Structure 1
Amino acid sequence: MALLGASGCGKSTTLRLFAGLERPTEGTVRLSGQDVTTSSASARNIALMFQSYALYPHLTVAQNIAMPLRLRRLSAWQRLPGASLVASGVKKKTTAIAEAVGRMAELLRLSELIDRKPGQLSGGQQQRVALARALVRDPSAFLLDEPLSNLDTQLRAETREEIKALHDRTGYPFLLVTHDQSDALSMADRIAVMIEGKIVQLGTPVEIFNRPATQEIATFIGQHRMNILPAGAGEKLHASGAGLSLGVRPEDLFISDEGLPAKVERVTFHGEETILKLRGPSGLALSSVVRGDYATPSLGVCVHLNALETALHGFDRHGQRQEIAR
């Protein structure tokens, strides 16, 4: 599940409440049906991964992964060098820890890197070490706070797939906190959209994207901001536009022989797509995405824009979703 919202909406605070790092002023916190409101962070057995991986630079991959188990299972003197030579019980514990580290390293494809230090790893490899360190203690839930924000575009896409695959393999409950819609839409089974401290919509990624509950959610979700045509301005696209505000995503707004008149003000090439910024009636700002082999209009050219009925979203004067008669 993902908590998706803009900066300052309260999603990271919610994660900290789940983790036990903060206490709620009212209400309860439940994990797996149990009330853990007053339980300490350690008692909740929750794994956390933040934007910063916080690996120990002087320790190897194996030592970094083992650290949570050593702190939980060994006393201070048992962690001293040579302690396993003095007490047989310590040797059994350290052997069990080493076996757990080996299993986790194999799961996350780190076995060949086990003796390296963080400075010798790529960003993606460091990310996997941080994941292994969090998961090695067999947590009851796994919380991720903006875990991909430090990665470049290609590595970010690869790591999304790895985390999703890890979730599928392990079955651990994952809670992802992010402001990035691509992360939430591609990784989560369910998304809770947060605005100003409240969850305003909960659903699958497909439901959130295709049926936003409010105009505010509609303009927040999506790689390109949804166009909103005020009541009356959208009549050229659909008769319902006389009484409802109509929303249409830029990728669904195409150039046609008839429809809404607009003038091209800016053309931005992005390789597989070209983004048009246009000015419609009464100064209405519009965006359209042109893909494939379609001819791109030049600056200053007047065109007509249209959209399929199935691509239109209706909103009343309060910003609430209203179904459009097809």
Structure 2
Amino acid sequence: MGKSENIIELIDVRKVFDDETVAVENFNLQVKKGEFVTFLGPSGCGKTTTLRMIAGFDIPTSGKILLNGEDISTLPPNKRPVNTVFQKYALFPHLNVYENIAFGLRLKKVPEERVDRKGKTVTKFIRLGKSEIDRKVKKALEIVDLEGFEKRSVSTLSGGQQQRIAIARAIVNEPEILLLDEPLGALDLKMRKEMQVELKNMHKKLGITFIYVTHDQEEALTMSDKIVVINDGEIQQTGTPTEIYNEPVNTFVADFIGESNIFNGAVVGKLKVKFCGATFDCLDDYEINQLVDVVVRPEDIRICKPGEGQLKGRVISSVFKGVHYEITVQIGKFEIVIQSTSDAPVGGVIGLRIEPDGIHLMEKVYTVNKYDGVITKNNTVEFGDGDFECDLTQLYSGSHIDEEGYLVTAEGEKKDLTGVEVNVEVAPSDISMTDDLNAGGAKGNIISMIYKGDHYRYIVRTEENEEDYVLSCPDMWNTGDLVGVVIAKEKIKLALKPAEEEK
């Protein structure tokens, strides 16, 4: 069997912290030798935790991390051929540039074979000589384009120069893998863009594996061979920058990577989809009548004369962005954002044309909220870390609730439903939010919001058991808001679990 071209493999990796917070879940990834791989996702999604597990600073709760096929899950950091560059550089202010880069080399011992007095060959570990350290430091400075800076104090360097010194110190030990944890986060925009190009060039020069962490989509698209999009501790999609941008697998990826118009749609014919009240030709083949999420990038919409496109609407705003105008068009109850090199007057009516290759369909993930529920003694139903009023008569056809609160079946049988387990379903459109936490049956924080043309899709997560409520709302709330979850009793659909039906 040939040697694997993968340098790092993560197999079913899971990380749970002492407070039972699940940081990483079901993480499976293969990284090839010499690849530039970027972990991309919002703050708190688990990307840095994953990087720390690769470095050895954190140990996986379960699963394996393989280096060249060998399990290194519990191997100490100093035993791994891995170096890390941090956002805050971690340079020694009392040492000059040369001493900062040489610091690790002075501590390093390398094996050397010698013949002892008895004629035996023995391996001794010796420190590097001054000439060897000089050679390695000079080479590292050449790679980061800072030759001649050896005697400079690190406190006199700019942010970009300090970051290069941090990278030089990391690569001077010739690691097989370089881990970079948001290394450009402290730099201004212009310096960050320059360093993106520099890092890509360094990667080509070194030929080693880079694993890079960022929440900046432009950084990921600019530098990466492979992007790993992470949310909620799980991989959402892995692919090249082009694949991630043009073929997102779900609404999170589509919304997080670049600008997107996202709509609810339905497949109405062979390679035909309906959204925004019009029917469009498309390239994605789905079953007829299947509900889908539709993604249209703003740059894929062409402005034309009213009547010449599939859609017609009124311009409600136009903002010059330097290389294009960002134009928002109202089409009935829907809003569509366009990026065009030509302006359109606010208040004017324009036509919009979208070609089939500009329309991307994805299977709709959130069609209904489903929970395991239990009937309480108060004839309410507990589910999703909440307690809601409900209509119990839907469990038995023709039944009613008597004055004592018991359910009476059509046959006259009186039933006490306390503790009965049920399946619960609620449509996203039947859930609303409120600032009054006591008015809702449950409460939680908004963890996600995606605009879908005429409404926002929110996900509210409870604190106790991290139950999620997916809902649709026309009003704009903020991610992180603590809200009450309101569901009208007639909107909660209940069904007895099979075990309960048999009783």
TM bucket normalised to smaller: 0.7 to 0.9
Aligned-residue offset at 1:239 = 4.6
Of 285, 290, 293, which residue of structure 1 is paired with 2:335? 285
Report SS of the residue matched to 2:211. strand
Tell me, yes or no, if structure 1 residue 300 matches structure 2 residue 350. Answer: no
Which structure dedicates a bigger proportion of its chain to strand?
2
User: In 1, are the aligned partners of 2:143 and 2:205 still within 8 Å (CA)?
Assistant: no
Which secondary structure state, in structure 1, belongs to the residue aligned with residue 299 of structure 2? helix
1:2-151 matches, within 5 Å, as 2-73=38-109, 93-151=129-187
Higher relative contact order (CA 8 A, sep 6+): 1
**Distance between the aligned counterparts of 1:237 and 1:32, measured in 2?**
51
Any conservation in 2 of the 1:237–1:260 contact (CA below 8 Å)? no
Alignment check: 8 A CA contact 1:233 1:281 kept: no
Residues 216-272 of structure 1: CA deviation (Å, up to 9, x unaligned)? 2112211x2x10122243453615698543211011122222332333222221222
Match of 2:257 in 1: 221
Could you tell me which runs of 5 or more consecutive residues in structure 2 were left unpaired when the two chains were aligned.
1-36, 111-124, 266-273, 283-287, 368-503
Query: Which is further off, 15-24 or 51-60?
Result: 51-60
SS of 1:112's partner is coil
- Alpha carbons 1:18, 1:29 under 8 Å: kept: yes
Amino acid at match of 1:278: V
1:255-270 equivalence runs, <5 A: 255-257=303-305, 258-270=309-321
On the 8 A contact 2:230/2:237 being kept in 1, the answer is yes
Q: Shift in Å at residue 136 of structure 1?
A: 0.4
Aligned residue in 2 for 1:79: none
> Unpaired runs of 5+ in structure 1?
75-88, 321-326
CA distance in 2, matches of 1:92, 1:249: 55
Contact kept, 8 Å, 1:279 with 1:286, in 2: the verdict is: yes
Aligned equivalents of 1:92 and 1:213: distance in 2? 50
* Secondary structure of 1:238's aligned partner: strand
Question: For residues 327 and 264 of structure 2, what CA distance do their matches in structure 1 show?
Answer: 20
Superposition deviation, residue 114 in structure 1? 1.6
1:146-181 deviation per Cα after TM superposition (whole angstroms, max 9, x unaligned): 111222222222211111111111111110111111
Asked if structure 2 preserves the Cα contact closer than 8 Å seen for 1:73 and 1:93, the reply is: no
Could you say which residue in structure 2 is the equivalent of 1:80? Answer: none
- Mark the structure with the bigger radius of gyration: 2
Deviations 1:94-144 (A, max 9, x none): 332222111111222211222111222222211211110000011121001
Report if the CA contact (8 A) 1:253-1:307 is conserved: yes
Q: How many pairs were matched up? A: 300
Out of 255, 275, 278, the position equivalent to 1:233 is 275
Work out the CA distance in 1 between the residues paired with 2:80 and 2:240.
Answer: 27
Worse overlay, 238-247 or 301-310: 238-247
1:245-256 matched pairs, under 5 angstroms: 245-256=293-304
Distance 1:91 1:199, change over 3 A: closer
Indicate yes or no: 2:236 matched with 1:200: yes
How far 1:61 sits from its partner (Å)?
A: 1.0
Residue equivalent to 2:194: 158
Q: Does 1:173 align with 2:209?
A: yes
**Aligned residues with identical type, % of pairs:** 37
Q: Which amino acid aligns with 2:49?
A: T
3-state SS, counterpart of residue 255 of structure 1: strand
SS at match of 2:135: helix
CA distance in 2 between counterparts of 1:262 and 1:311 reads 19
| Contact 2:101–2:172 (8 Å) recurs in 1 | yes
Q: Is the 8 A contact 1:215 1:319 kept in 2?
A: no
Q: Which residue identity is paired with 1:233? A: F
Which stretch of structure 1 is more off in the superposition, 54-63 or 168-177? 54-63
Distance 1:157 1:6 in 2: 20
| Stretch deviating more after TM superposition (307-316 or 257-266) | 257-266
1:318 aligns with 2:365: yes
Alpha-carbon separation, structure 2, partners of 1:244 and 1:309 = 16
Return the TM-score normalized by structure 2: 0.56
Amino acid at match of 1:305: L
Provide the C-alpha distance between the structure 2 equivalents of 1:155 and 1:244, rounded to a whole number of angstroms.
41
- Residues 220 and 237 of structure 1, relative CA distance in 2, 3 Å threshold: farther
Contact 2:84 / 2:178 at 8 angstroms: preserved in 1?
yes
1:61-92, Cα deviation, whole Å (9 max, x unpaired): 11111111123349xxxxxxxxxxxxxx9996
2:278 alignment partner AA: K
Q: Matched residues in 1 for 2:331 and 2:169: separation?
A: 54
Indicate the SS of the match to 1:155: helix
Which amino acid letter does the alignment assign opposite residue 166 of structure 1?
M
Is contact 1:216–1:319 with CA below 8 Å preserved after alignment?
no
